[in-house]
Amino acid sequence: MMVGGGTFYAFGIFFKPLLAEFGWTRAMTSGAWSLCALLAGLLGIGMGRLSDRFGPRPVVTACGFFVGLGYLLMSQISAIWQLYLFYGVILAIGGSGIPVPIISVIPRWFVKRRGLVTGIVLSGMGVGIMVVPPLARHLISIYDWRTSYIIVGIVALISIMLAGQFLRRDPSQMGQVPYGEDEVKEPGLKPEAQGVSLRGVIHIKQFWMLCAILICHSFGVQTILVHIVSHATDLRISQTIAANILVFIGGLSIAGRVIMGSAGDRIGNKRAVTIVLILVTASLFWLLITKEVWMFFLFAAIFGFGYGGFTALQSPIVAELFGLSSLGAILGGLFFGITIGGAIGPLLAGYIFDTAGSYNLAFLIYGIVSIIATVLTILLKPTRGGDCRYFSLTE
């Protein structure tokens, strides 16, 4: 999660060097990232199915190869079509098989404290955002962006494939039982294999509400992670400080993942999700008036904590709602919703900047969309009876 997430969100560091060398517009360049996000989400459904059937180890290993290959090829681009092929397609294949298989493993290993453990695992992505973007900026300053992509590609290829060898689908493969299985008596927390299939879940209203919430949330979040460095430098903030804003977002996202993941275990996932969405919404409106360095770091603190907390709460909600038998495939389907919003948002922000010369309209739109996600979360109700007996959102 650290290497996959960190390298993915380092795209914003390479953004302006690519613009400077090739003269592409921000919308054209953002489009490759959007294609990658959208295709990765679509392929993630299949990767989730493969992980359910064969386990996460072969899926993550194969996809780690494609991640490394994509970055190595990025060092050789000379035309816009190559950017879209290498980043938009090859990296999408690799990125599609990292988050879903890893996250879908956690509920199978943990009955108690699922939210906390999910937060801890996903904090790897926050660490990656703290480490990789500033490292990439440092490499670019010493060498150039092409050499930096080669180094990133080698590190990603080796580390992801190596780490993937230690993954196991469920505790039975190690002669163990899920943590807390014998201590928890509530049926909503039992780790039974049965659950709703991917085909069956499309007929359930809560699935589509969760999909809408994820689309609205990712619409603005992914835009911030792609464009915040460029936005800060446009306001004459140095490249180093602008990169550190992204680092700060990553650091606070770690706290958000762990604290709010644990809070979901205690106060219920619905309340916890509502809290973090309010924080994200407030930060987006604050960004509209942000001009000074301290204001950017305050934004990064609120936004990072809320964004991280939301990420940690996704898998526990889905596991409780739909069971474990098709968890990987269902998470893949929901994550496709994330990539729809994540693909549209950065592309639209780039277009708005190209035409208006400012990101302000984009930030306003994203603030409003985040309000919609918050309202939908408040309206989300538990399903009682039927196949959705796992759903235990606290009202």
Residue spans per domain, the chain: 2-168+187-388
pTM above 0.85, yes or no: no
Q: What is the distance between the alpha carbons of residues 125 and 250, in angstroms, rounded to a whole number?
A: 8
Let me know: does 237 contact 296? Beta carbons within 8 Å. Answer: yes
Sign of CA dihedral 348, 349, 351, 355: positive
What pLDDT is attached to residue 388? 41
Q: Which of 80-87's residues contact partners 24+ apart within 8 Å by CB, and which partners?
A: 80/22, 80/24, 80/28, 83/18, 83/29, 83/32, 84/31, 84/32, 84/35, 87/11, 87/32, 87/33, 87/35, 87/36
Query: Yes or no: is domain 2-168+187-388 CATH 1.20.1270.360?
Result: no
Which DSSP string corresponds to 53-81? HH-HHHHHHHHHHHHHHHHHHHTT--SHH
What pLDDT is attached to residue 149? 92
What pLDDT is attached to residue 316? 75
What pLDDT is attached to residue 193? 45
Q: Angle 186-188-193 (CA atoms, 0-180°, nearest 5)? A: 115
Which DSSP string corresponds to 173-229? GGT---BTTTT---GGG---S-B--HHHHTT-HHHHHHHHHHHHHHHHHHHHHHHHH
Let me know: does 167 contact 106? Beta carbons within 8 Å. Answer: no
What pLDDT is attached to residue 73? 95
Q: What is the distance between the alpha carbons of residues 278 and 49, in angstroms, rounded to a whole number?
A: 33
Tokens of 318: 């889905």
pLDDT per residue as tens, the chain (395 positions): 889 888 887 887 888 888 889 988 888 888 888 888 788 878 887 887 888 788 889 999 999 999 999 999 999 999 999 999 999 999 999 988 888 788 778 878 887 777 788 878 888 887 887 888 888 888 998 989 999 999 999 999 999 999 999 988 888 777 888 887 776 544 444 444 455 666 667 777 888 888 889 888 888 888 888 788 889 988 989 888 888 898 888 888 888 988 988 888 888 888 898 999 999 999 999 999 999 999 999 999 999 999 888 888 877 777 766 766 666 677 777 777 777 877 788 888 888 988 888 889 999 999 999 999 999 988 877 654 333 433 334 33
Collapse the DSSP code of 323 into the 3-class scheme (helix H, G, I; strand E, B; otherwise coil) and give the result.
strand
